[in-house]
Amino acid sequence: MNLSRPAVSEVGRFALFLVAGMINTLFGYGVFALLTALGFAETAAVVMATAAGVLFNFRTFGTVFAARGLARLPHFIAVYAVLTLLNIAILATARGAGLGPYLGEAAALCVVTPLTFLALRFIVFNTRGEASTRK
Question: Confidence band (pLDDT; 50, 70, 90) for 134?
Answer: very low
- Please indicate, yes or no, if residue 40 is contained in any of the structural domains: yes
- Report yes or no on 2 lying in a domain: no
Query: What are φ and ψ of residue 72, in 5° steps?
Result: -90, 0
Counted domains in the chain: 1
Q: Decide if pLDDT at 132 tops 50.
A: no
Would you say 16 and 33 are in contact if contact means Cβ atoms under 8 Å apart? Answer: no
Query: pTM of the full predicted structure?
Result: 0.70
Q: pLDDT category, 20, cuts 50, 70, 90?
A: very high
User: Which structural domain, as residue segments, surrounds residue 118?
Assistant: 10-126
* Mean pLDDT, rounded, of the chain: 86
Q: How confident is the model at residue 96 (pLDDT cuts 50, 70, 90)?
A: very high
Average pLDDT over residues 42-53: 89
101 located within any domain: yes
